[in-house]
Amino acid sequence: MLLDGKRLLITGVLTDDSIAWHTARIAQEQGANIVCTGFGRGLRLTERSVQRLPNACDVLELDINDPDHVEAMRADLTDRWGAVDGALHAIAFAPADALGGNFLATPVESAQTAFTTSAFSYKTLAVGLLPLMEAAGGGALVTLDFDNTQAWPAYDWMGVSKAALQAVTRYLARDLGPKNIRVNAVSAGPLATVAAKSIPGFEAFQDAWNGRAPLKWDETNPEPVAKMVCVLMSDWAPATSGEVVHVDGGFHAIATGVSQG
């Protein structure tokens, strides 16, 4: 199996329509041992969601911006496994005043929160897991991205944070490559998850994809994205790092609308 025996941390699991949940499901089906994380008011949702996985798993509470939480996560995984082979970073947040067409009026504190939680946190997770991945002899980190080569309606400072996330991916790849740790990002098309639905004007994203992606894009199906995450965490991508892999129906490659025939 693709991930047989791999010890994986899957962050950001909330409901069973999320990319993180489907990644956890496919990883288990491919032989991985997993631990998931949740946070705050969503923690109970996470705990319920993991009961619907092929094998219910433990859930750790992780506020990625709280050093005590990061240390507790590392201590738990050290006691549990002694090493970690890979992790999915599925963590992002922007305050309401950093979204919704409020770009020029967003206060610096809200932009900083979006950056810290959505981009800098990839570095935080990597450093937190570094001793465990070194103990494994290397491994793979994957984060979830969204196309940021263009300015999207209402996406505002989250779009800026996703651009920063791509840069963080490249610099982590530079610094962790000598330790045999691969660092990549998966740029997904729009999916109708709980998180996406909280973005004002999300329908505009769906409309754009329907008119431009050459492959049919199903915004209700996170499985293609989750499968790519699992490939990147497997031994089948041993020389891929610093990459942004698009799983978006080909949208990013097409300049104008296409005929769906």
Number of domains in the chain: 1
Mark whether 162 is an active-site residue. Answer: yes
Residue with tokens 């050093």: 67
122 labelled catalytic: no
Among 6, 123, 155, 179, the active-site one is: 155
| Any domain includes 257 | no
- The reported pLDDT for the residue numbered 261 is 53
pLDDT at 260: 52
Active-site residue, from 6, 162, 179, 216: 162
The pLDDT assigned to 134 comes to: 98
Domain membership flag for residue 1: no
Q: Supply the pLDDT for residue 245.
A: 98
Pick the closest to residue 141 from 187, 174, 179, 172 (CA basis). 172
238: in domain: yes
* pTM as predicted: 0.94
pLDDT for 120 equals 98
pLDDT digit of tens for each residue in the chain (261 aa)? 999 999 999 999 999 999 999 999 999 999 999 999 999 889 999 999 999 999 999 999 999 999 999 999 999 999 999 999 999 999 999 999 999 999 999 999 999 999 999 999 999 999 999 999 999 999 999 999 998 888 988 999 999 999 999 999 999 999 999 999 999 999 999 887 766 666 666 676 777 787 889 998 899 999 999 999 999 999 999 999 999 999 999 999 998 766 555
Structural domain includes residue 259: no
Q: What is the pLDDT of residue 41?
A: 87
Neighbour tally for 51: CB within 10 Å: 9
Residue 114 in any domain: the answer is yes
Domain assignment present for 260: no
Task: Report the pLDDT value the prediction gives residue 198, as an integer from 0 to 100.
Answer: 65
Q: Is residue 47 part of a domain?
A: yes
pLDDT on residue 195: 66
Tell me if 85 is assigned to some domain.
yes
Q: How far apart are CA 90 and CA 111, in angstroms?
A: 19
Contact 146, 187 (CB under 8 A): yes
Domain coverage including residue 150? 7-252
- Looking up residue 236, the CATH number of its domain turns out to be 3.40.50.720
